[in-house]
A and B are shown apart, each in its own frame.
Chain A
């Protein structure tokens, strides 16, 4: 039973991380209908920024608490800046281009960013500093659920609540929902669509950065390639839940996380990624609109 609970929690942890990344995919898709292939790289850059800042600060002897705050902030700030810049460079000029053009551009951006980090940093795996110490009160259940697992879950829930508040109640959140429904109409009622799109990229990137920071401190190592796999999986999660739907992305992420966790725990860990990819292929074939998505009819 302990093993089951352990796998369950590990699935929830995975799911949380996927959810943080999947939200960026789903929000961008909801607003401009683009699969932002470079989103995984944003997450990777978030992890790298956190790694660099945290390591520098710890070398210079800052206290742990301040390191966590500063590294987290740095990851969020830089990832958001990257998200914002990438949209301006690679997607905005292609807003009226044929559908495949921005996707190819996104793939190019993804390859570019991976190799940019590879060249400027290293291809080796880097040890990520421990940002979350093992709390003492966790001691009795530490063999089932670790402190980082708990921290990830709590952070994710907090972020989700915050995001819901932003989208439901703030002005920019309302503008986002309006733009997602009908961009032309949103423009006509005076919403600056360019700003909304930028804001979407910034929010999505910030979430991915938090995901990057959490997973890096959980797994304990990073390299330039982590964004690719995580990106694909989070995308799978977003599609599973119904791309464009925010609750769908969260639900899909937890389903995917739990599936992976149980499959690797009870079947085989060699095929971890095969499970995820097969799930993606199967969903798209049998239920392309996902768990919570709506099927759309093409207008003729």
Chain B
């Protein structure tokens, strides 16, 4: 039995009188690809925002367990940057790159929380800073190469083609050395070829043992990638299981198609 990396229990989020998330349980084990699916407005992105510290959940617990230890780290109440530091990195559904920075610099930003040069180091460019800077550049470039973005390294991020921007979002998140990578609709707006390439890319990243949790609407992609799938509707988890189980699950079919199905 593999160890859980992320454990979410009873996560609840209220906006005013509206319950966007209702006592949600979810877990991701090391090296797994898990998908979170559900109709529009089911609360998937809200879930991401809650576990990454952008929203503070009304109730529930979020724990992160590094694979090499058994100590659970609570993420509840942490700020987004602290969550990232602990090892949860995300991409955004509507691309949020740093438009006026180069592609390489976008990835270098991801290294921020793993490095420490500050005012003094920056001004006097000490040996330690120089070494650190060199390692930032090398690591970032290696990530770009791996994701097939090396040719764009010195371009401004907003000059990239759409598919490459999506990949850059992933590259940037990977640069933070996450224990768990969160992808928010990585295939949104992609054409079929790009989606196939993305499918390969995510599998490639996963081969290195990277745990991934993704939100996605493209069912083919979800079924091809996921080890397990969680299904949400109206802020609640309505099903979970392997792709094969989910495909046959009448509750899921009902949620998606709105039909009356005799269970």
Contacts and interface: CB of A to CB of B under 8 A. Distances in A.
Interface of A: 297, 300
Contacts of A297: 15
Q: Chain B, interface size: which category?
A: under 10
A297 B45 CA distance: 15
5 contacts: A297-B15, A300-B45, A300-B49, A300-B54, A300-B92
Interface string B25-58: 0000000000000000000010001000010000
B83 to A, nearest CB: 14
A129 B42 CA distance: 66
A300 B44 CA distance: 12
A64 B92 CA distance: 66
Interface in B136-189: none
Closest 5 CB pairs of A and B: A300-B54, A300-B49, A300-B92, A300-B45, A297-B15
Interface string B75-102: 0000000000000000010000000000
A300 B80 CA distance: 13
Contacts of B49: 300
Nearest to B15: A297
Interface string B54-67: 10000000000000
A297 B13 CA distance: 14
Contacts of B45: 300
Nearest to A299: B94
Nearest to A298: B54
A297 B92 CA distance: 17
A300 B15 CA distance: 14
Contacts of B54: 300
A297 B49 CA distance: 12
B15 to A, nearest CB: 8
A300 B52 CA distance: 12
Nearest to B80: A300
B79 to A, nearest CB: 14
Nearest to B184: A300
A287 B45 CA distance: 28
A300 B93 CA distance: 9
A297 B18 CA distance: 14
Interface string B83-126: 00000000010000000000000000000000000000000000
Interface string B215-245: 0000000000000000000000000000000
A52 to B, nearest CB: 47
Contacts of A300: 45, 49, 54, 92
Contacts of B92: 300
B108 to A, nearest CB: 23
B104 to A, nearest CB: 23
B231 to A, nearest CB: 22
A247 B262 CA distance: 55
Nearest to A297: B15
Contacts of B15: 297
A297 B54 CA distance: 10
B122 to A, nearest CB: 25
B16 to A, nearest CB: 10
B120 to A, nearest CB: 30
A10 B70 CA distance: 69
B95 to A, nearest CB: 12
A287 to B, nearest CB: 19
A207 B49 CA distance: 43
